[in-house]
Amino acid sequence: MANEVAMQGKVINDKRPDSEKICFTQEGNRLVYRYDGEELWIEPWGENSLRVRAAKMAKMPLENWALSEKVKECAPEISIYGDGRAEIRNGKLCARFSAMGKLSFYNQDGKLLLDEYVRNRRDIKVDYCSALEVDAREFCPIPGGDYRVFMRFESLDEKEHLFGMGQYQQPYVDLKGIDLELAHRNSQASVPFVLSSLGYGFLWNNPAVGRATFGKNITTWEAFSTKMLDYWVTTGNTPAEIEEAYANVTGKVPMMPDYGMGFWQCKLRYQIQEELLEVARGYKKRGLPISVIVIDFFHWPMQGEWKFDPVYWPEPDAMIAELKQMGIELMVSIWPTVDYRSENFEEMKQRGYLIRTDRGFRISMDYQGNTIHYDATNPNAREYVWEKVKKNYYDKGVRIFWLDEAEPEYSVYDFDNYRYYLGPNVQIGNIYPVMYAKTFFDGMKKEGQENIVNLLRCAWAGSQKYGTLVWSGDIHSDFRTLRNQYAAGLNMGIAGIPWWTTDIGGFHGGWVDDPKFHELLIRWFEYGTFCPVMRLHGDREPHKPQYGTTGGATCLSGADNEVWSYGPEVEKICTKYLFIRERMKPYITGLMKEAHEKGTPVMRHLFYEFPEDEACWTDYEEYMFGPDVLVAPVMYEGMRDREVYLPDLPGGARWANAWSGETYQGGQIVQVRASLDEIPVFIRGGAAVPWA
């Protein structure tokens, strides 16, 4: 009995040899494990949550990365037992070490949530003997460098469902059985937080390039080059409780400004000032709702010159003033690339404000010139870029920016070749979009602006607190790609990025006179109405004649992309949904307030609202837009009716068809019409949603 008696960090009647007593110590509110050069810290990090750090360095690295928010201090229960075991409990979450250093996590009911995968002879006395010699926490030395790190967990339940991880161009909503690259690319945003149907959330708190494999037998997290292992675990009784705990430690979005909840008009690319103004006037003349209009890339003289090209945009102050009179905000595109011919290149190079390459010629992109990105991980570089932007855009009245190329995109994705102020890209590169967003958020905040939102093509954990609205990149125009966006949008919300949007109609390949594209555009427009931000964009075919030969004019422009550009039938249906979006703004405002205050996704898997309905964990073709609106998007060509599952609650739930008013009891599948102008939508019984 004496061997099992323990006090806070003290061991009683320990009969073990001295060599075995030094593995566990309590240091403050932290349980520390040391063995064979490895030092591991496990400590409370927010309510019902624990952070684990491990390294084989002289000192533990202290970067917090995504875990940057100040959290409520918690007093854990720490026990170090006489038989070589130890445990730490923080609220509903308990972590237990076996005598051989294996770490397992349990909830308040004693249910096993996560269990390290260990197969070696050290566990012969306590667990399971294996000749495989596989460690859960593996530090593989890189000759002359740091470590390649693996973290392995047992797959405890073949029926487990996993969600989150950001945005990947694949159709799978449930990530169990999926292999994911932990790296950013154009249309791919790696946000390494996963929510499990078993009742836990897990953040891989490491910005290194790597992989995550959610196998049937083993879950493996891998960093290709790093100094340490760092992750965070939480548990809760509902998905909402887990999601809110994650938002508390990584940050929450600001409140979305009113104009952000309306319709955004965009195309590749308005070539001149008068063309953009005519489009804005066209919306107003037709009486159509519009909140934001966008000037896309290459409106500047040269990449790395963050200003209007005066040849094509001669009176930006007057243009912005006229737009504001019409109640339209102007968003301008920013690229992080700096052309060798740019007026700022030599100064930025001299000051160390550009990323570097370890080999080869110093070029990261060759689109429209030889360019290198500014180093957003360098605080001085962030300040330099913002001062240019402030002078040439912000002081003229621009209050929203399109921060393109945010991954950053490379012409060749040699992740091991680029080096930043904070270190090699392969070790810290995934944090770039966070720092890119911070460049503008900090500058705008300093000017006194509240409710900041900027559009980025990428994100990592924590991006949301810098006003990041992610769009899904340069995607193709077809129904298969539309289905991919459905998965991406929902999993971005679970990954802690509640502001998400997509190019309505896709980006590449839409011909303005093609009836098949018209159907796709309509279905995408209907879906876009029920996304956090509704934004029309795309590189439409055929391209327009080039206007001018200097500066940004060397980049071509796509065909017209306004709601009236595709003929009267398309215009009529799009107009219908523009007004639905406008009428729903009071409801959407409530969703944005929830996202701001609690970190709640705007688009939600069915299980988020109905976790006790088992069918909601496996339905991957509909979603909740907030708590009361069920959306069943049409994602297949030619579909004119479809099945819809109506979720149920323990006390029963009722649903009303938003179009017909017909009511149904929850817990059943209903067949509903989906005519070309009608996306199936249901309103939860008793909810006050402005619709008709």
**494: domain range?**
258-335+383-408+429-583
**Do 176 and 202 reside in the same domain of the chain?**
yes
Mean of the pLDDT values across residues 546-573? 95
pLDDT score for 72: 87
- Give per-residue pLDDT as tens, 353-366: 999 999 999 999 99
Which value, in Å, is the radius of gyration of the alpha carbons in the chain?
Answer: 27
Q: What is the DSSP letter of 142?
A: P
pLDDT score for 532: 98
Residue in the structure block whose two tokens are 């496990």: 42
What amino acid occupies position 96?
A: R
The verdict on whether 414 is a catalytic residue reads no
**Do 9 and 156 reside in the same domain of the chain?**
yes
In a domain, 349, yes or no: no
Domain count, the chain: 3
pLDDT score for 121: 63
CATH number reported for the structural domain that contains residue 16 in this entry:
2.60.40.1760
Contacts of 47 (CB under 8 A, 6+ apart): 71, 72, 74, 90, 91, 245, 248
| Partners of residue 668 on adjacent β-strands | 646
| Rounded CA separation 421/376 (Å) | 8
pLDDT score for 129: 61
pLDDT score for 561: 98
pTM: 0.96
Question: Beta 137-141 vs 112-115: how paired, if at all?
Answer: unpaired
The verdict on whether 115 is a catalytic residue reads no
In a domain, 377, yes or no: no
**Do 35 and 79 reside in the same domain of the chain?**
yes
The larger pLDDT score, comparing residue 4 to residue 403, is at: 403
Positive or negative: CA dihedral 104, 110, 113, 119: positive
Q: How confident is the model at residue 554 (pLDDT cuts 50, 70, 90)?
A: confident
- Give per-residue pLDDT as tens, 182-199: 999 999 999 999 999 999
Does 253 score more than 60 pLDDT? yes
- Give per-residue pLDDT as tens, 302-337: 999 999 999 999 999 999 999 999 999 999 999 999
Does 20 score more than 60 pLDDT? no
Choosing from 407, 613, 619, 622, which is the catalytic residue? 407
Of 604, 692, 691, 686, the C-alpha closest to 651 is 686
Residue in the structure block whose two tokens are 């964009």: 537
In a domain, 341, yes or no: no
Q: How confident is the model at residue 21 (pLDDT cuts 50, 70, 90)?
A: low
Mean of the pLDDT values across residues 252-275? 98
CATH number reported for the structural domain that contains residue 629 in this entry:
2.60.40.1180
| Partners of residue 603 on adjacent β-strands | 625
pLDDT score for 99: 85
**Do 153 and 266 reside in the same domain of the chain?**
no
CATH number reported for the structural domain that contains residue 324 in this entry:
3.20.20.80
The larger pLDDT score, comparing residue 457 to residue 8, is at: 457
% pLDDT > 70, the chain: 95
pLDDT score for 12: 38
Q: Is 246 exposed, middle or buried (0-12, 13-18, 19+ CB in 10 A)?
A: buried
Q: Which of 41-55, 127-141, 653-667 has the lowest mean pLDDT?
A: 127-141
Q: How confident is the model at residue 8 (pLDDT cuts 50, 70, 90)?
A: very low
Contacts of 170 (CB under 8 A, 6+ apart): 178, 484, 487
**Do 235 and 270 reside in the same domain of the chain?**
no
- Give per-residue pLDDT as tens, 401-439: 999 999 999 999 999 999 999 999 999 999 999 999 999
In a domain, 359, yes or no: no
Mean of the pLDDT values across residues 573-585? 98
- Buried b / exposed e along 375-390 (16+ C-beta atoms within 10 A): bbbbeebbebbbeebb
Of 98, 187, 75, the C-alpha closest to 457 is 187
Of the three residues 583, 613, 628, the one that is the final residue of a domain is 583
In a domain, 417, yes or no: no
CB atoms near residue 220 (< 10 Å): 18
| Rounded CA separation 460/430 (Å) | 7
In a domain, 310, yes or no: yes
**Do 170 and 305 reside in the same domain of the chain?**
no
pLDDT score for 122: 59
Residue pair 43/76 in contact by the 8 Å Cβ criterion: yes
pLDDT score for 291: 98
**Do 228 and 104 reside in the same domain of the chain?**
yes
In a domain, 374, yes or no: no
pLDDT score for 22: 65
Choosing from 474, 478, 519, 560, which is the catalytic residue? 474
Does 145 score more than 70 pLDDT? yes
**Do 564 and 649 reside in the same domain of the chain?**
no
**Do 496 and 521 reside in the same domain of the chain?**
yes
Q: Is 72 exposed, middle or buried (0-12, 13-18, 19+ CB in 10 A)?
A: exposed
Of the three residues 551, 583, 615, the one that is the final residue of a domain is 583
The CA-CA-CA angle for residues 290, 502, 540, to 5°, reads 80
Q: Tell me how far the alpha carbon of residue 150 is from its chain's centroid.
A: 23
| Average pLDDT score, the chain | 95
Positive or negative: CA dihedral 240, 245, 248, 252: negative
In a domain, 666, yes or no: yes
pLDDT score for 392: 98
Q: How confident is the model at residue 2 (pLDDT cuts 50, 70, 90)?
A: very low
The two structure tokens encoding residue 113: 């949530």
The verdict on whether 407 is a catalytic residue reads yes
**Do 490 and 469 reside in the same domain of the chain?**
yes
**Do 531 and 564 reside in the same domain of the chain?**
yes
Does 215 score more than 50 pLDDT? yes
**Do 110 and 177 reside in the same domain of the chain?**
yes
pLDDT score for 126: 47
Choosing from 222, 244, 404, 628, which is the catalytic residue? 404
| Rounded CA separation 97/118 (Å) | 12
The larger pLDDT score, comparing residue 19 to residue 552, is at: 552
Q: How confident is the model at residue 576 (pLDDT cuts 50, 70, 90)?
A: very high
Of the three residues 193, 220, 250, the one that is the final residue of a domain is 250
